């Protein structure tokens, strides 16, 4: 979870982590029902430690989603404007790129990453980047 300061879709050394962001793990077959929830640490790291992959996965071919509801206090820029989902990078990087894409879940806008199983039970490459919205300047000509 990071603020993409240079808007390149990658988590670079100068990008800061985003803490306090709520994440939800869902399955395709379960619809909007959460399997697990968690909150990102101050450095942006997160883990679904309350999710037991061995007991909760109904199928080896199930599709899972990590969702972040966009309208939450932790996703506000210092000036109060809401962060935007980072644009995908020109060249994907499985470790450092932002995996979230815009979607709608239960009528709410989310940033969603798709996870297919079977994968290792620990996957630290699902990242979410956010950008500060551009400042809009209004010029009034008198």
Average pLDDT of span 30-41 = 88
Residue 142: pLDDT band with limits 50, 70, 90: low
Domain ranges of the chain: 2-131
State how far the Cα of 50 lies from the Cα of 38, in Å rounded to an integer.
Answer: 8
Quick one: fold of 2-131?
A: Immunoglobulin-like (2.60.40)
pLDDT 10s digits, 70-125: 889 999 988 888 999 998 888 888 888 899 999 999 899 999 998 866 554 667 78
pTM of the predicted structure, to 2 decimals:
0.82
Residue-level pLDDT at 62: 73
Q: What is the distance between the alpha carbons of residues 68 and 84, in angstroms, rounded to a whole number?
A: 12
Residue 52 has pLDDT above 80, yes or no: no
pLDDT value, residue 117: 60
Kindly indicate the confidence band of residue 61, based on its pLDDT and cuts at 50, 70 and 90. low
pLDDT score recorded for residue 141: 61
Nearest to 98, CA basis, from 131, 70, 76: 131
Average pLDDT of every residue of the chain: 84
- pLDDT over 70 (residue 43): yes
Task: Give the per-residue pLDDT at 137.
Answer: 61
Give percent helix, percent strand, percent coil of the chain, each to the nearest 5: 5, 30, 65
């Amino acid at each position: 979870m990071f603020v993409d300061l240079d808007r390149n879709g990658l988590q670079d050394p100068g990008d800061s982590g985003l803490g306090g962001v709520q994440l939800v793990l869902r399955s395709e077959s379960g619809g909007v029902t959460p399997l697990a929830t968690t909150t990102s640490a101050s450095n942006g790291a997160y883990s679904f430690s309350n999710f037991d992959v061995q007991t909760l996965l109904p199928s080896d071919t199930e599709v899972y989603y990590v969702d972040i509801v966009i309208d939450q206090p932790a996703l506000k820029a210092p000036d109060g404007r809401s962060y935007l989902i980072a644009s995908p990078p020109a060249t994907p990087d499985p470790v450092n790129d932002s995996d979230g894409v815009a979607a709608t879940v239960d009528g709410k806008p989310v940033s969603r990453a798709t996870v297919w199983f079977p994968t290792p039970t620990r996957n630290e490459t699902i990242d979410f980047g956010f950008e500060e919205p551009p400042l809009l300047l209004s010029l009034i000509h008198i």
